[in-house]
């Protein structure tokens, strides 16, 4: 039997790395079509580095404070990823703005997960923003990265209903559960060649299989 060709990932982190862990767990399944070849953090204290090392994944710290310009910082990261034959970058709580040149260089080869239903509620503080807006649903989005923050073709979304008692923390916790599901799902779709970008939309055949509507508050039977 031919060995499964796996998409080689580099995961960029700045913190605890719970989405990194979700990807690590997915990649331990033999038939999962991707592998993590490198984890890069801009912070040596990032807890996600410990997760990677426990799973024998190579790690690298690129401290942004050690470089005089953003271009220098980008250059070091890009060389490390190219040396590692990175095919797809996964941003997982990487708390640095990326330069236009970096985004262009890795266009359609870099994805991000964001804790809202984009294009609504970009940036930070999105859970409180959703509560303040009184929406029925928030959620999370995996999308390709573009120059403008929290934009780019949307690959996968998960909707999370808001509760009347929600705080930003309680909503964030429920959204995080869904993040851990949809990030590996998005990677799988890409690795299996199921995602096509057309007119800045990410399309898959699976888009047309979802038939159930979500209503909040629900209609009583």
What is the DSSP track for the chain?
A: -PPPP-EEEEEEESS--HHHHHHHHHHTSTT-SEEEEEEEES-TT-HHHHHHHHTT--EEE--GGGSSSHHHHHHHHHHHHHHTT--EEEESS--SPPPHHHHHHTTTSEEEEESS-TTSS-SS-HHHHHHHHT-SEEEEEEEE--SSTT-S-EEEEEEEE--TT--HHHHHHHHHHHHHHHHHHHHHHHHTT--EEETTEEE-GGGGG------SSPPP-
Q: What is the pLDDT of residue 43?
A: 96
Q: What's the domain count of the chain?
A: 2
Has 185 been annotated as catalytic? no
Residue where one domain finishes, among candidates 106, 134, 169: 106
Question: For residue 218, is it within any domain?
Answer: no
For the chain, give the mean pLDDT.
95
Asked whether residue 143 falls in the same domain as residue 189, the answer is yes
Average of per-residue pLDDT across 199-204: 94
Q: What is the pLDDT of residue 2?
A: 57
pLDDT reading at 209 higher than 90: no
pLDDT reading at 15 higher than 60: yes
Q: How confident is the model at residue 211 (pLDDT cuts 50, 70, 90)?
A: confident
Q: What is the pLDDT of residue 213?
A: 84
Question: For residue 159, is it within any domain?
Answer: yes
Question: Exposed (0-12), middle (13-18) or buried (19+): which is 210, by Cβ within 10 Å?
Answer: exposed
**CATH (domain of 70):** 3.40.50.170
Domain of residue 91, residue span: 7-106
Asked whether residue 118 falls in the same domain as residue 93, the answer is no
Question: For residue 138, is it within any domain?
Answer: yes
Asked whether residue 148 falls in the same domain as residue 202, the answer is yes
Asked whether residue 85 falls in the same domain as residue 31, the answer is yes
Residue where one domain finishes, among candidates 89, 106, 123: 106
Q: How confident is the model at residue 1 (pLDDT cuts 50, 70, 90)?
A: very low
Radius of gyration from C-alpha coordinates of the chain: 18
Q: What is the pLDDT of residue 146?
A: 97
Asked whether residue 87 falls in the same domain as residue 13, the answer is yes
Q: What is the pLDDT of residue 3?
A: 67
Q: By C-alpha distance, which of 108, 135, 107 is closest to 121?
A: 135
Question: For residue 216, is it within any domain?
Answer: no
Please, which contacts does 187-192 make with residues 24 or more away whose CB atoms are closer than 8 Å?
A: 187/7, 187/9, 187/23, 187/26, 187/34, 187/88, 187/90, 187/111, 188/26, 188/32, 188/33, 188/34, 189/155, 189/156, 190/7, 190/88, 190/111, 190/155, 191/6, 191/7, 191/33, 191/34, 191/88, 192/33
pLDDT reading at 194 higher than 80: yes
Question: For residue 152, is it within any domain?
Answer: yes
pLDDT in tens, 132-175: 999 999 999 999 999 999 999 999 999 999 999 999 999 999 99
pTM over 0.85: yes
Q: How confident is the model at residue 202 (pLDDT cuts 50, 70, 90)?
A: very high
Asked whether residue 74 falls in the same domain as residue 28, the answer is yes
Asked whether residue 95 falls in the same domain as residue 123, the answer is no
Which residue among the candidates 64, 114, 180, 185 is catalytic per the annotation?
Answer: 114
Asked whether residue 22 falls in the same domain as residue 95, the answer is yes
Question: For residue 38, is it within any domain?
Answer: yes
Asked whether residue 163 falls in the same domain as residue 73, the answer is no
Average of per-residue pLDDT across 172-179: 98
pLDDT reading at 208 higher than 80: no
Question: For residue 132, is it within any domain?
Answer: yes
Question: For residue 220, is it within any domain?
Answer: no
Asked whether residue 100 falls in the same domain as residue 149, the answer is no
Asked whether residue 101 falls in the same domain as residue 117, the answer is no
pLDDT in tens, 46-82: 999 999 999 999 999 999 999 999 889 999 999 999 9
Residue where one domain finishes, among candidates 88, 106, 124: 106
Asked whether residue 83 falls in the same domain as residue 119, the answer is no
Average of per-residue pLDDT across 81-94: 97
Distance CA 157, CA 150 (A): 13
Q: What is the pLDDT of residue 206?
A: 76
């Amino acid at each position: 039997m031919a060995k499964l060709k796996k998409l080689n990932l580099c995961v960029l982190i700045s913190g605890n790395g719970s989405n990194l862990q979700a990807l690590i767990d997915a990649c331990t399944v033999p038939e999962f079509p991707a592998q993590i070849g490198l984890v890069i953090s801009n912070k040596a204290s990032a807890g996600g580095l410990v997760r990677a090392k426990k799973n024998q994944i190579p790690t690298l710290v690129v401290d942004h404070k050690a470089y005089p310009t953003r271009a220098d910082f980008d250059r070091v990261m890009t060389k490390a990823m190219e040396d590692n034959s990175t095919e797809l970058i996964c941003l997982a709580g990487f708390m640095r703005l990326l330069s236009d040149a970096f985004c262009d260089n890795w266009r359609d080869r870099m994805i991000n997960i964001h804790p809202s239903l984009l294009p609504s509620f970009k940036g930070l503080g999105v859970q409180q923003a959703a509560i303040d807006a009184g929406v029925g649903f928030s959620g999370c989005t995996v999308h390709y990265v573009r120059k403008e923050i929290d934009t780019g073709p949307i690959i996968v979304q998960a909707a999370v209903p808001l509760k009347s008692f929600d705080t930003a923390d309680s909503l964030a916790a429920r959204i995080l559960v869904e993040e851990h599901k949809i990030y590996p799902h998005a990677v799988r779709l890409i690795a299996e060649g199921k995602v096509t970008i057309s007119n800045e939309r990410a399309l898959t055949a699976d888009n047309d299989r979802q038939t159930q509507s979500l209503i909040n508050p629900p209609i009583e039977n």
